[in-house]
């Protein structure tokens, strides 16, 4: 959709003000933590906040970050002002991790933001004569399901319906979607705009989406608020579903098209504009292991979803981007839960992620963004171990299982360094266990143990720090 001219002017004015502040040593960096559902965004943000705050107090929680050489004087969370967007509750998430026994933070149910003020001593000679710099780091959290709404903004109801129904008829989706497909195919060409029909179709379609996410491990599922409606709950705005071409001219089809359009307008106002219009750094979290262990279709579905999302974003920093704050200058793709595989497999995990995100990675590079790929565990909850496989020692990991609270040694098996061949998918399904997070100091004041967070932050923020 073309930009609103009035909003464009407002962006230019805002950006000009920020440029003046930057010259005075007060800069702003916006980091969007993106990823599909269950990729670990909330945990990542909680760890990032805890470790930056601890590093600002002199703790060596992020030794690979350039600012950790003593120039990072302090890090504090900026108190909320009068903004309408909810605040990311890092304190509550850290309290969950510091509980006895520790437990993982609750899943994200709404958009939230948090800003950190980083006080940095200037490097070299300027550090002796000029005052400290202050960099404001804006962070964003939101339900991962909503990310898949981005490709919908470039589609009308007819195009979205055709693509969605074609996807529902393929592979593992077909059996789970059978009841919904039978319902929609039986609708008459003159189906009335009755609320009972709309609610029935919506309920069947939503049931399929939940099954596809929770049981099949699929991620290319739209609309996102059907899976996670947010604080607004199940409003009439959501009571629509994809329809075949033959039924779209009916009164029911026209109602579905109106609700589809209203949904996109609402998501633009509540989600797209506040989140994706002005950030300039992006980390894309991908649960590569979860997709790999869910099977070939789930793995390929993850790749398709990431490519579709990437196609909606603007990369690089042209003259208009510098004026308005649009465009993404740096992108880091991160394979999460890297602590679930032994050290010898982590390079393969990063290489596999690079193949998985080949299309979005190339698009970002062509657009002029600096792109890196990392294996990361925002909160490390395992240690290196050795298992016995067919009578021989094999690298493994060891941790406390969330359910039952007992120690377990896990051999996750081979992590392919490239997209797996057909033979790989013939192996038995392996379900990755859920480990308990490690115990922390009270409120996480000493930071959070992690794997690879500091080189990732250096790639994303090093130039600004």
CATH number at residue 73: 3.40.50
DSSP-derived secondary structure letter, 315: B
What is the pLDDT, as a whole number, of residue 271? Answer: 80
Alpha-carbon gap, residue 276 to 150, rounded angstroms: 9
Are residue 359 and residue 375 in the same domain, yes or no? yes
Asked if residues 40 and 336 have their Cβ atoms less than 8 Å apart, the reply is yes
Are residue 289 and residue 335 in the same domain, yes or no? yes
Look at residue 323 and tell me whether its pLDDT is greater than 90: no
Asked if residues 62 and 457 have their Cβ atoms less than 8 Å apart, the reply is yes
Are residue 214 and residue 119 in the same domain, yes or no? no
pTM assigned to the model: 0.87
For residue 48, tell me if it sits in a domain: yes
Look at residue 169 and tell me whether its pLDDT is greater than 80: yes
What is the pLDDT, as a whole number, of residue 396? Answer: 93
Kindly give the pairing relationship between strand 330-335 and strand 281-286. Answer: parallel
Are residue 207 and residue 263 in the same domain, yes or no? yes
Look at residue 16 and tell me whether its pLDDT is greater than 90: no
For residue 401, tell me if it sits in a domain: no
Q: What is the mean pLDDT of residues 125-149?
A: 84
Work out the percent of the chain whose per-residue pLDDT is above 90.
Answer: 58
Work out the percent of the chain whose per-residue pLDDT is above 70.
Answer: 89
Q: Which of 219, 254, 271 is the last residue of a domain?
A: 271
DSSP-derived secondary structure letter, 280: -
What is the pLDDT, as a whole number, of residue 9? Answer: 40
pLDDT of 247-296, one tens digit each? 999 999 999 999 999 999 998 888 887 766 678 899 999 999 999 888 89
Domains held by the chain: number? 2
For residue 98, tell me if it sits in a domain: yes
Can you read off the two tokens belonging to residue 372? 């890196």
Single out the residue of 64, 59, 112 nearest to residue 85, CA to CA. 112
Look at residue 299 and tell me whether its pLDDT is greater than 50: yes
Are residue 28 and residue 50 in the same domain, yes or no? yes
Q: What is the mean pLDDT of residues 236-248?
A: 95
Kindly give the pairing relationship between strand 133-141 and strand 26-35. Answer: parallel
What is the pLDDT, as a whole number, of residue 8? Answer: 40
Are residue 318 and residue 453 in the same domain, yes or no? yes
What separation in angstroms does the CA of 102 have from each of 99, 243, 330, 382, 438? 5, 46, 34, 14, 7
What is the pLDDT, as a whole number, of residue 36? Answer: 86
What separation in angstroms does the CA of 380 have from each of 8, 376, 451? 43, 9, 6
Single out the residue of 353, 348, 360 nearest to residue 413, CA to CA. 348
What is the pLDDT, as a whole number, of residue 320? Answer: 44
How far does Cα 116 stand from its chain's mean position? 20
For residue 77, tell me if it sits in a domain: yes
pLDDT of 65-121, one tens digit each? 988 778 899 999 998 876 777 888 999 999 888 888 888 988 888 888 899 999 999
Are residue 171 and residue 206 in the same domain, yes or no? yes
For residue 239, tell me if it sits in a domain: yes
Look at residue 439 and tell me whether its pLDDT is greater than 50: yes
pLDDT of 196-235, one tens digit each? 999 999 999 999 999 999 999 999 999 999 998 877 778 8
What separation in angstroms does the CA of 112 have from each of 234, 310, 362, 366? 20, 22, 30, 31
Are residue 267 and residue 289 in the same domain, yes or no? no
For residue 389, tell me if it sits in a domain: no
End-to-end CA distance of the chain: 34
Are residue 291 and residue 335 in the same domain, yes or no? yes
Which residues, at least 6 apart from 283, have a Cβ–Cβ distance to it below 8 Å? 31, 32, 33, 34, 44, 331, 332, 333, 334, 456, 460
What is the pLDDT, as a whole number, of residue 196? Answer: 93
Q: Which of 251, 271, 291 is the last residue of a domain?
A: 271
Lowest mean pLDDT, pick from 10-14, 124-128, 292-296: 10-14
Can you read off the two tokens belonging to residue 131? 């005052």
Are residue 309 and residue 446 in the same domain, yes or no? yes
Asked if residues 65 and 457 have their Cβ atoms less than 8 Å apart, the reply is yes
For residue 206, tell me if it sits in a domain: yes
- Which residue segment(s) compose the domain that 157 sits in? 151-271
Alpha-carbon gap, residue 177 to 106, rounded angstroms: 29
DSSP-derived secondary structure letter, 190: T
Are residue 244 and residue 288 in the same domain, yes or no? no
Can you read off the two tokens belonging to residue 394? 């094999």
Give the residues across from 26 on adjacent strands: 134
Asked if residues 180 and 167 have their Cβ atoms less than 8 Å apart, the reply is no
Provide Rg for the chain, Cα atoms. 23
Q: Which of 271, 290, 319 is the last residue of a domain?
A: 271
Are residue 311 and residue 362 in the same domain, yes or no? yes
What is the pLDDT, as a whole number, of residue 232? Answer: 73
What is the pLDDT, as a whole number, of residue 124? Answer: 66
For residue 54, tell me if it sits in a domain: yes
């Amino acid at each position: 959709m073309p930009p609103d001219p009035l909003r464009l002017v407002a962006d230019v004015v805002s950006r000009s003000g920020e440029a003046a502040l930057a010259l005075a040593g007060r800069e702003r960096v916006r980091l969007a933590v993106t990823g599909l559902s269950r990729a670990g965004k909330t945990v990542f943000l909680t760890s990032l906040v805890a470790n930056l705050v601890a590093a600002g107090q002199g703790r060596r929680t992020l030794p690979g970050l350039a600012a950790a050489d003593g120039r990072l004087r302090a890090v504090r969370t900026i108190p909320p002002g009068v903004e309408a967007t909810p605040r990311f509750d890092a304190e509550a998430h850290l309290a969950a991790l510091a509980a006895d026994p520790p437990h993982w933070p609750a899943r994200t149910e709404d958009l939230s933001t948090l800003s950190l003020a980083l006080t940095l001593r200037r490097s070299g000679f300027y550090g002796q004569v000029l005052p400290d710099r202050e960099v404001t780091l804006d962070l964003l959290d939101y339900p991962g399901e909503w990310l898949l709404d981005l490709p919908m903004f470039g589609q009308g109801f007819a195009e979205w319906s055709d693509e969605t129904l074609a996807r529902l008829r393929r592979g593992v989706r077909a059996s789970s979607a059978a009841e919904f497909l039978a319902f929609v195919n039986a609708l008459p060409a003159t189906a009335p705009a009755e609320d009972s029909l709309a609610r029935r179709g919506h309920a069947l379609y939503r049931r399929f989406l939940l099954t596809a996410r929770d049981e099949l491990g699929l991620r290319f599922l739209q609309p996102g608020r059907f899976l996670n409606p947010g604080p607004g709950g199940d409003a009439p705005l959501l009571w629509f579903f994809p329809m075949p071409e033959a039924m779209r001219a009916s009164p029911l089809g026209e109602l579905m098209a109106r609700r589809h359009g209203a949904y996109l307008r609402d998501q633009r106002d509540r989600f797209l504009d506040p989140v994706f219009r002005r950030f300039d750094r992006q980390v894309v979290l991908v649960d590569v292991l979860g997709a790999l262990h869910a099977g070939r279709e789930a793995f390929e579905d993850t790749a398709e979803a990431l490519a579709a999302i990437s196609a909606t974003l603007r990369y690089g920093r042209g003259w208009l981007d510098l004026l308005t704050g649009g465009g993404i200058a740096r992108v880091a793709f991160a394979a999460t839960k890297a602590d679930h595989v032994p050290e010898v497999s982590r390079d393969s995990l990063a290489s596999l992620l690079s193949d998985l995100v080949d299309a979005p990675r190339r698009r970002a590079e062509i657009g002029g963004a600096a792109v890196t790929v990392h294996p990361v565990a925002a909160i490390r909850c395992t240690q290196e171990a050795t298992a016995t496989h067919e009578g021989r020692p094999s690298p493994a990991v060891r941790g406390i299982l969330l359910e039952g609270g007992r120690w377990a040694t896990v051999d996750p098996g081979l992590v392919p360094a490239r997209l797996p061949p057909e033979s790989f998918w013939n192996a038995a399904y392996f379900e990755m266990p859920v480990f308990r997070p490690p115990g922390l100091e009270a409120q996480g004041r000493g930071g959070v143990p992690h794997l690879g967070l500091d080189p990732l932050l250096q790639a994303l923020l090093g130039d600004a720090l």
